[in-house]
Structures are given as C-alpha cells and as structure tokens.
Amino acid sequence: MADTDTASPLGDCMAQVAESQRQLFQEMASFARDETSRFVNLRLERNGQALEKMQTCHGLPGLIGVQQEWLRELFEDYVSQQMRLAKTFRGLAQNVAASAADAASQNIDRMQEEGRHMAESAGQQMHQMAQDASDYAQETQH
C-alpha cells in the first residue's frame, strides 16, 4: 500500500511535467510559426519596396543608395527579430520555471503531509504494540 501511495504523487508530478512540456512546445511552435510568417512578410514587403526604388533611381549612385538602404533595413529587421525571439523565449522560460517550482512545491507539501500521516500511524501502531506487550506481560505475571 505504501508503494501505491508513494507512486501516486510521483506519477501525478510526472504527468504535470509532461503536460507542462507539451504546452510549452505547443506555444513555442505556434509562436515560431507566427513569427516566421510575420518576418517573411515584412522582408517580402521591404524587398518589393527596394525593387520599386531601383526602377526609379538615377544612375549608379542611386542604385548604390537603394542597395545600402536595403542592407540597413535587412540588418535592422534581423536584429529586431532576434530581440523579439529572445524576449519571448526568456518569458516562456520564466513561466516554465515558475510553473515547475509551483508544481514541485505542491508535491513536496503533499509528500510532507503524507509523511506526517505515515509517522502518526506508525506511532499509533507502536503505541498499540507497546500497550499489547504491557497487557500481555501483566497477564502472564498474575
């Protein structure tokens, strides 16, 4: 019976961890899909703007200016994207850590409570055994 009592909180803990990981991976996949789509659309729009500017630029200096602007925007967009990703993943990691700490705390509290109950039960059994031994000793002395 003790194995079943101990296994249940452990199984619950493992199930909570598995569910948290599933949710985390689902959130990450959804975020990555949405961010990739947003970033690709942004870059396609910027590329289209650069092509339009190339058609109306004058000479080599104009072409170089359009190219430099396109490179600057490309760099800024990539840096911005990396910052967005880092911020989001940091937030997700903090949420996961907080959730794991909360689940661990709940499981520790539950296990401590079950340990107290087991100790009380063992104490009562020991007291009963001592009482039975004392009663037996008194009966055999008379």
> Which class for 141: exposed (0-12), middle (13-18), buried (19 or more C-beta within 10 A)?
exposed
pTM, rounded to two decimals: 0.57
d(CA 73, CA 18): 41
pLDDT tens series, the chain, 142 aa: 445 555 566 677 777 778 877 887 888 888 889 999 999 999 999 999 999 999 999 999 999 999 999 999 999 999 999 999 888 888 877 877 787 777 777 777 777 888 788 888 888 888 888 887 787 777 777 6
Q: Report whether 17 contacts 118 (CB < 8 A).
A: no
d(CA 40, CA 81): 11
d(CA 80, CA 42): 12
**pLDDT (0 to 100) of residue 111:** 78
